[in-house]
Amino acid sequence: MDIVETIRDYGEWFYVVTFVWTFLEGETFVLFAGLGARQGILRLDLLIVFAWLGSFAGDQLYFWIGRRWGRSLLLRFPRWSPGVQAALDLLRRYNTGFILSFRFIYGVRNFSSFAMGTSGLSWPRFLVLNFIAAGVWAVTFAGTGYIVGATFEHLLGDLALGFGLVMLGIFATVIALIARARKRRVAPIGATPIPARIKTDPRRR
């Protein structure tokens, strides 16, 4: 697929696509879009804003679902429990650091917002930290795609776009392999109990 032509085909609607994609998940998408921004067919600032808001909104929704229906969903889908418990263990150990960085921790990130919703974590605290973390995530991945494009443009001239796409594709593949390896190391299904709620300062509720 020609990513540049795809971006051109969507035009201004590509920013809406970015919001929807990042609402679900999408660091690879944002990487390639960052490369498109380097080509001048997207505005980097708008790309970052829409990726930021999409990622933030998605994780707020997953947090709310975990807070509202977490325990009942875990009873219905026990295979989620190992991933949820892994995220909760990291939350107990690192707390704020985990909330700010969970998007970068492959293997547990898909469960993290939902898991934190089940934990009793104060929702205003999660909202603020999640907003900051989503911004860091959007800048990191959009910026990486942009910088890759700029670097290869400087080194390779007209060959930069094709080579940059190849390198981003390799990077995305490595990420996927790391995520798969981490998932295989998660405890066996049924070995982890449904998480108890983490003790939090009631004044933060």
Count of positions (residues) in the chain: 205
Whether residue 201 has pLDDT greater than 80: no
Is residue 31 within 8 A of residue 168, CB to CB? The reply is yes
Q: Which residue has the higher pLDDT, 157 or 125?
A: 125
pTM score:
0.77
Q: Quick check: is 202 in a domain?
A: no
Task: Give 168: exposed, middle or buried? Use CB within 10 Å, 0-12, 13-18, 19+.
Answer: buried
Nearest by Cα to 25 from 45, 55, 53, 57 = 55
Q: Which domain holds residue 50?
A: 3-195
Q: Quick check: is 201 in a domain?
A: no
Residue 145 has a pLDDT of 85
Residue 37 has a pLDDT of 87
DSSP state, residue 95: T
Q: Quick check: is 14 in a domain?
A: yes
How confident is the model over 133-161, as pLDDT tens digits?
999 999 999 998 898 877 755 544 454 45
Nearest by Cα to 40 from 8, 1, 6 = 8
Q: Quick check: is 143 in a domain?
A: yes
Q: Quick check: is 204 in a domain?
A: no
How confident is the model over 9-21, as pLDDT tens digits?
888 889 999 999 9
Tokens at residue 142, please?
């959009």
Query: Structurally, how many domains does the chain consist of?
Result: 1
Q: Quick check: is 95 in a domain?
A: yes
Residue 152 has a pLDDT of 58
Tokens at residue 168, please?
């981003």
Q: Which residue has the higher pLDDT, 36 or 45?
A: 45
- What does the pLDDT average to over 56-82? 95
